[in-house]
Structure 1
Amino acid sequence: MLHSSINDSVYQVPLRNQTVNAQIFNSIATIDIIQTFYNDTQDPLEVTVNIPIDEDYGIGKLTVEIGDQVIEGKILEKQKAQEKYEDAIAQGHTATIASEDNEKDEIIKLTIGNLLPGQEAKLEIQLLNVLKIEGAAYCLRIPLNYFPNYEAKLNGYSYKFQVEIHSDTPITYLSHPNSSKIVKETSDENLLHIKLEKTQENVYCLDNDLVVYYRTNDMESTVLFSQESESHPDQVAVMLSVLPSFIEQTTSVPSLDTYEEEIPDPQDVQYINPGDCIYIFLVDRSGSMRGDKMQTTKEALKLFLKSLPPRSNFEIISFGTQYTVLSGSPNGLEYNDITINNAMNQIESFQADMGGTEIYQPLEYAISGIQTKLQKRIFMLTDGEVSNRNQVVELAGKCPYDVRIHSIGIGRGCDVRLVSDVATQGKGSCSLVVESKDLKAIVIKALARAKDPSYSNCKFILSQNPIISANNLKHNLINTTGFELFRNEIFLILAIIPKQDFENLRISASSDINPISNKGINYEWSAADFRQLNMGNELFKIAARMSINELSIPASKYSRVPTKDIEKISIEYQVLSKYTAFLAVNQNDEKPIGELKQINIKQEDSIPIERNEKRCRRRVQPTSPTSQVFSFSSSNQDQIKKKKKCKEKKAAQKQETPKKKQDDNENVHHNQHHQLQKINQAMADTEMAEEEEREVETMQIDDQIYLEGYNNNQMQGLIKSPLKVSQLPMEEQKYMLSYSYQQVEI
């Protein structure tokens, strides 16, 4: 049980234990998080847990087990799910709802309401994910903040971590968390199976992310899976996975090396050496780059220079209406402490003072004017506001093979089409910097892509028209222009096709031949090449989630997100989206007695709050991505009475005669001063109570009062400013006090 103290009183947070089970099939992972809650108080509880996720994660399943009842959650439209949840709570049933946070896409908010005294509930939520490559190895990472309140010293709940790895090629390297052990290792001619397990009685012993790394002896082998589902009997889901690795093949017999808590070193792998490079930075210093854009560009440029590999050369070309070159030498500047320090000093003085934006001439100089035997890696940092976009893109497409152009779009208003097309034609990568906090990760990724070999002009074609088709890198497969696949970046295609078309399925892949490795991607696969997984929904849900991710990105800044299409895919394939929610309801024979207390379990050292709800709602300002909005809930009997009273009041209003309405309006003027005094006194009392609550360090409670039901042309919806009613114009005060929901009880 978790404990936290509020004003020297100890509150028990009802989490007994947690289990994390992960199943890995090559690069696909399903992660089941199982939490057991128990209510040993005398009141029904509403418990909220935040689960942080990455964009690529999909929520595939939610089940609730109470006693001998197991209820599987269903995906519904978000507003509809919320209404059903509130109705279930009001009727005394236990209900669970999970949805993406409205303000933070990377947070799943899971709430279990009406956990009755003495009742135990086991919640299981399934995450679906594609593994990433770190240190030239597959990486499964379970963040520490998956384990609620892990920093609280009084934590007492136990946890269990299990991982099963299934690989169709021999595993040669395995790194696992400390104190974990290999409990099973089996293999046959088709599949290698390794099971890891870690169990501890107290989660406080957990002080790092749980991370598993593994490599196979043939990382570049193509993986093909298919799956059928009872939920979609007329469809088949297929997956194709490609991982360019450019590893020198060895003839030695593969053997498994295991390590505890080791971060894999990519230098352990014998890569094919692409050769030495000169890194050329085209820096936009035109007038449109003034302010934050110029500052972000300078910070990015400094990060690039600090991160360059040893024995490399570099050059900086500033451009506006004209362009200037830092060194003017054919080979640029050698990378050493003196040249880097001098360049840093020069960058510090950069201003957006070079007039208009002319990219063509400096780009042409970088491609052809710098005469060197070194391979060229060009980085273009710009907001892309040019008048000759087509000519610039055409120039990028004429690059010889040893020249690559990587573009960095600066600011929210940058020309995304320009920076994207230049990178595509220049056989490079495109990154967008909207906020400076993203810089470090973007620079590291861009440099890695620049240093590493890649497959160019890649094209993948499906012979059948899929119901859904998506890929993790969001490339346009229909476009005739090929794209780049970089070393150690997994490329996944997932598609759902009619079952009747599966037998005739063909997937063809092609690319240019890499001159360093003398290899390319030139294959064709048929239905017979796909390994069939067990009956299930995993591939269907991952395909649906990838499709939702693609649809969530507008085609341009003038395009709208197709919310109805996303909602349809989400409900049909039962995978969570921003516009839907999971709902599970358990009908209780025993009705709750007492007030419903709310407790929030956070993924940080925080204090759970329990309060009674009044008609006044407060807004809690989140202090971190895992902070929650506390809503204060009254007893179920009170909620039912309020709903009934509200309905009776509305019915009575509909039957009012015009004469009665006129009398009521006159009474408003008579009682106005008294009502204003009552509301303002209530709000003053609220502010005083909130001032005391500010002593709790982890809370930031705003003194804004949300008055329900106010809606006219001037102030639509809820009042969301901290003004008292008496501070509003007189006509607005009259409207407020005459409205059917004018009472604000404190």
Structure 2
Amino acid sequence: MMVNCCGLLTSQKEPVPLKSVEVELEVRDHVAAVVSTLNYENKEDKPLEAVFVFPLPGDAAVCHFSAKIGQIQIVAEVKEKQKAREEYDDALSSGQQAFLLEESEQSPDIFSLSVGSLPPGESASIRLEYVTELAVQADEGLRFILPAVLNPRYQPQGSEGGSVQVTSVPASLVPYSLSFSARVSSPRPVSKVESNCPLDPLQYLNTEQSQATVKLAAGHKFDRDVELLIYYKDAHQPTAVVEAGQASAKPGSLMGDPVVMLSLYPEFPQAVMSSLASCGEFVFLLDRSGSMDGPRIKSARDTLLLLLKSLPMGCYFNIYSFGSSHEHIFPKSVEYSQETMEEALKKVEEMNANLGGTEILKPLKDIYSQPCIPNQPRQLFVFTDGEVGNTKEVINLVKKNSGSHRCFSFGIGEGASSALINGLAKEGGGHAQFITGTDRMQPKVMQSLRFALQPAVVDISVTWDLPKGVSVTALSPPITALFQGQRSLIYGQLTGQSSEAAEGCVTVKYSLAGHPSQNQLHFSLQPAEDTGLTVHRLAARTLIRSLEMEETERRGEQDEGVKKKKVVELSVQSGVSSAFTSFIAVNKGNGETIQGPLVRRNVPTPMMGYCMMSGPPVMMMKMSRMPGPAFHCAMSRSMASPSDEMSCDMPEITCARKAKAPSSPGFLSNMKKKRVVFKRAQSEADHLSPQSDGQHVNDASSSSANSSPQQPPRDPLLQLVFLQKASGCWVLDPALAAALGKTSEEVEKPKPASVNKEVWATILALIWLHGFKMDAQEEWELLAMKAASWLRAQNAPCVTECVDAGNSLLGCKVQKDVLGL
């Protein structure tokens, strides 16, 4: 019998009740308020339950959830999670409409929205509001991300908890549309707004250019997250906003009292900042799971090359990599030298995305089990596409070890978990960066290395000076990391009364390389107009997150219960989501019940197509709502024959062919494996070696007999970088001549007679970098500083003569002082 399906269909030919998503963004200075409207329509002849699992920014505070059916508007309430679920189930079983919004207990950037009992022909409009802080980028832009891509999260073997089913389709098959508009306002002029997606032109709303609107061009393909970068003039000014409390809330409560939000940009003394640290233990942890395949792993290898060349002499380093298992280059961190650097580079060139799943917990435990090296502060760099299911467990481990290191995290590719990447950096006292679309990884990583080379700030304290009768309760956790020019946000609840003209003062004191220092900010206690409750909700979210992250393992179930009770109370009072609460709305309506059995429809989410599957995978995210395997995938009829294997970063799986595969329990259990295995047509790829698994590996990297490093990458900049020695110098040889685009004779002939070859080679390399690669200066700046330092230590004669001769040879006009000589 042929089923007559109207409307939009998934690739499984099931109707999709979600028709469109409309997003309105309002940015005020560095805080964003977002309103998402999801429009549903049931075009089937039976009542539906639509379930949509989707990503939100990891630090978003969801503060409003409502549904409109016809002319009826139902506003949801925040309730304890189990109570909300029971109320939802009871409503559906008694034929009422109900709406449930839940945050994942494992990862705060994943939400599940259930729309229950949508009768035939009925439409519903769901309104979801959240507020979030905007992260400051290395180039001073503020980054807003609208996650569109939800990748499967790898659930480590043996981890507990149920799952909620997520249907996922390739981006091109997403059956609903997205419209997105933004309004930006700030005390300072908006200089520009950029995006990774096509935008309509920026429209200014006033002559000061401090207000503007911008829209996403029509026809978004759902193949990437929507990223907006907002630039203000004079962005690095400290600011304070005082927001009045809610009139209906009890005075003395968080929502009843005024709340202040301070945005601080510490400025460090120039004398301390002029010399970067020449010590440290640098540990690099690289994700080599299947989903890192292709350009991601190649970019990561190029980035490790730059990092290794930029490290200071006298430091220690090691490189770990992980998937389902993990590896390290050295048994423990080794001193940085020409020999250890060469050995590491050889191993890096052989690295491929061939280690299966994303088990990040075990390598982190291994790193933390190594004793710290005296007077070498540990700096951990984590590179991952962030597809882990045990996010909170990983962040807790970093937090537990935050006293012994700083953690710098990098989220690679679309759909990287913002909760994981931001959480690692926040709890590890470091800095987070996201690399999406066609972004080059190198500039962002080198920015973080510059932060890591800054002396660690210790003894950080925040003191308040307020008028008599006014007191403050800190709502933010203590500041654990300060970096030159990076923002720190502090929230405080203000209690008591003062005269209207009163002002307060906050002082941040700290010690930097043994020098006591401080920054101050004076602010008015007069509440700002028209801020709604944005600041209160962000403060509540900060407090909820701190409570959720509190360590309770050692204190037993009783304390866990106390913590949960506190979170639930705060979440209900502030109307902000948490891991222990849900939003629930029930349409009591006119008493009419909906007849007939409910049919469940899973709304598909876009996913990047790692596995080259022709049918959509169905993933299980941990939302503790439904028991089930970590991942279930129904292969479509057109899959290739079982000739070959391709590994993919996904958890334990059951695969059943739709066409002819038997679906007996025996067949399914035989298919269960630690890593997912899919079939590929070319049989010659059967047993892939590290050199032949489809990665971008240089031909020379397979010559294991040769003890010299592999041939340099083809990119001219990386080719030159590859040839630099650990000490910072270059050697005058045919490889350098080729990298400079010259013959050996052309390079050797103009060398002044009294100058040694290494000095001449190093000056030539520096002139080439300054003459031809200024657009990538942030990538090579640190290794150029190392080279200049080496040159100064040589006390070489005729440096001016060398620079003139080098400019003449290369056709440049670089001044000697620009080279740092």
TM class, shorter-length: 0.5 to 0.7
Q: 1:278 to 1:183 in 2, by over 3 A?
A: closer
Write the distance in 2 (CA, Å) between the matches of 1:495 and 1:700: 62
The equivalent position to 1:72 in structure 2, one of 71, 75, 95, is 75
Name the structure 2 match of 1:558: 554
Write the distance in 1 (CA, Å) between the matches of 2:185 and 2:573: 29
Residue 495, structure 1, aligned to residue 457, structure 2: no
The count of corresponding residues between Structure 1 and Structure 2 is 517
Name the structure 1 match of 2:508: 510
- Equivalent pair of 1:93/1:585 in contact (CA under 8 Å): yes
Letter in 2 for 1:138: L
- Equivalent pair of 1:458/1:509 in contact (CA under 8 Å): no
TM-score by length of 1: 0.58
**Per-residue deviation at 1:93?**
1.6
Residue 38, structure 1, aligned to residue 57, structure 2: no
Structure 1 residues without counterparts, runs of 5 or longer? 249-271, 285-300, 349-379, 397-402, 477-482, 610-616, 629-690, 705-746
Name the structure 2 match of 1:278: 278
Write the distance in 1 (CA, Å) between the matches of 2:10 and 2:317: 57
Cα distance per residue 1:541-600 (max 9 Å; x no partner)? 111111011111234752454111111100110111111110111234343222210011
Write the distance in 1 (CA, Å) between the matches of 2:586 and 2:240: 38
SS in structure 1 of the partner of residue 9 of structure 2:
strand
- Equivalent pair of 1:333/1:339 in contact (CA under 8 Å): yes
**Per-residue deviation at 1:195?**
0.8
SS in structure 1 of the partner of residue 572 of structure 2:
helix
Q: 1:567 to 1:423 in 2, by over 3 A?
A: same
TM-score by length of 2: 0.53
Residue 621, structure 1, aligned to residue 629, structure 2: yes
Q: 1:570 to 1:140 in 2, by over 3 A?
A: same
Write the distance in 2 (CA, Å) between the matches of 1:13 and 1:129: 30
Name the structure 1 match of 2:147: 143
Q: 1:325 to 1:513 in 2, by over 3 A?
A: closer
The equivalent position to 2:239 in structure 1, one of 218, 223, 231, is 223
Name the structure 1 match of 2:119: 116
Name the structure 2 match of 1:549: 545
Write the distance in 1 (CA, Å) between the matches of 2:446 and 2:61: 26
Instruction: Please identify the structure whose Cα radius of gyration is greater.
Output: 1
SS in structure 1 of the partner of residue 537 of structure 2:
helix
Write the distance in 2 (CA, Å) between the matches of 1:618 and 1:702: 23
**Per-residue deviation at 1:114?**
0.4
**Per-residue deviation at 1:48?**
0.6
Write the distance in 2 (CA, Å) between the matches of 1:535 and 1:448: 36
Residue 89, structure 1, aligned to residue 92, structure 2: yes
Letter in 2 for 1:587: K
Name the structure 1 match of 2:693: none
- Equivalent pair of 1:32/1:127 in contact (CA under 8 Å): yes
**Per-residue deviation at 1:498?**
3.2
Name the structure 2 match of 1:197: 215
Q: Which residues in structure 2 correspond to 1:318-329 (within 5 Å)?
A: none
Q: 1:453 to 1:344 in 2, by over 3 A?
A: same
Write the distance in 2 (CA, Å) between the matches of 1:547 and 1:486: 23
Residue 232, structure 1, aligned to residue 194, structure 2: no
Name the structure 1 match of 2:184: 165
Q: Which residues in structure 2 correspond to 1:705-744 (within 5 Å)?
A: none
Identity rate of aligned residues, in percent?
18
Q: Which residues in structure 2 correspond to 1:306-317 (within 5 Å)?
A: 306-308=305-307, 312-315=311-314
Write the distance in 1 (CA, Å) between the matches of 2:240 and 2:121: 49
SS in structure 1 of the partner of residue 451 of structure 2:
helix
Name the structure 2 match of 1:242: 264
Cα distance per residue 1:219-256 (max 9 Å; x no partner)? 221121122234437321221112348899xxxxxxxx
Q: Which residues in structure 2 correspond to 1:543-622 (within 5 Å)?
A: 543-555=539-551, 557-559=553-555, 560-561=559-560, 562-589=563-590, 590-604=592-606, 619-622=627-630
Name the structure 2 match of 1:527: 524
Q: 1:407 to 1:11 in 2, by over 3 A?
A: closer
Write the distance in 2 (CA, Å) between the matches of 1:593 and 1:108: 29
- Equivalent pair of 2:56/2:109 in contact (CA under 8 Å): yes
Letter in 2 for 1:600: N
- Equivalent pair of 2:505/2:521 in contact (CA under 8 Å): yes
Q: 1:158 to 1:135 in 2, by over 3 A?
A: same
Write the distance in 1 (CA, Å) between the matches of 2:79 and 2:25: 26
Letter in 2 for 1:621: P
Write the distance in 2 (CA, Å) between the matches of 1:303 and 1:58: 37
**Per-residue deviation at 1:142?**
1.2
Name the structure 2 match of 1:540: 536
- Equivalent pair of 2:471/2:496 in contact (CA under 8 Å): no
Q: 1:180 to 1:102 in 2, by over 3 A?
A: same
Write the distance in 1 (CA, Å) between the matches of 2:50 and 2:489: 37
- Equivalent pair of 1:131/1:139 in contact (CA under 8 Å): yes
Cα distance per residue 1:62-89 (max 9 Å; x no partner)? 1111111112111011111112112221
Write the distance in 2 (CA, Å) between the matches of 1:32 and 1:430: 29
Write the distance in 2 (CA, Å) between the matches of 1:404 and 1:411: 21
**Per-residue deviation at 1:3?**
0.8
Name the structure 2 match of 1:59: 62
**Per-residue deviation at 1:109?**
0.9
- Equivalent pair of 2:200/2:217 in contact (CA under 8 Å): no
Once superposed, what is the RMSD of the aligned Cα atoms? 5.1
Q: 1:432 to 1:602 in 2, by over 3 A?
A: farther
Write the distance in 2 (CA, Å) between the matches of 1:72 and 1:502: 38
Cα distance per residue 1:522-543 (max 9 Å; x no partner)? 2242434x66141522211111
Letter in 2 for 1:232: A
- Equivalent pair of 1:384/1:418 in contact (CA under 8 Å): no
Name the structure 2 match of 1:213: 229
Cα distance per residue 1:328-385 (max 9 Å; x no partner)? xxxx647xxx76213557999xxxxxxxxxxxxxxxxxxxxxxxxxxxxxxx995368
SS in structure 2 of the partner of residue 572 of structure 1:
helix
Write the distance in 2 (CA, Å) between the matches of 1:196 and 1:184: 6
Name the structure 2 match of 1:3: 9
**Per-residue deviation at 1:108?**
0.9
Name the structure 2 match of 1:694: 656
Write the distance in 1 (CA, Å) between the matches of 2:126 and 2:11: 26
Letter in 2 for 1:95: A
Q: 1:77 to 1:419 in 2, by over 3 A?
A: closer
Name the structure 2 match of 1:184: 203
Letter in 2 for 1:508: V
Name the structure 1 match of 2:475: 470
**Per-residue deviation at 1:311?**
5.3
- Equivalent pair of 1:18/1:157 in contact (CA under 8 Å): yes
- Equivalent pair of 2:183/2:214 in contact (CA under 8 Å): yes
SS in structure 2 of the partner of residue 42 of structure 1:
coil
**Per-residue deviation at 1:622?**
3.8
SS in structure 1 of the partner of residue 223 of structure 2:
coil
Q: 1:120 to 1:462 in 2, by over 3 A?
A: farther
Write the distance in 2 (CA, Å) between the matches of 1:407 and 1:20: 37
Letter in 2 for 1:56: D
**Per-residue deviation at 1:446?**
6.1
Structure 2 residues without counterparts, runs of 5 or longer? 1-6, 152-166, 252-256, 285-299, 319-330, 350-364, 383-392, 408-424, 436-440, 608-614, 619-624, 635-652, 667-821
- Equivalent pair of 1:150/1:206 in contact (CA under 8 Å): no
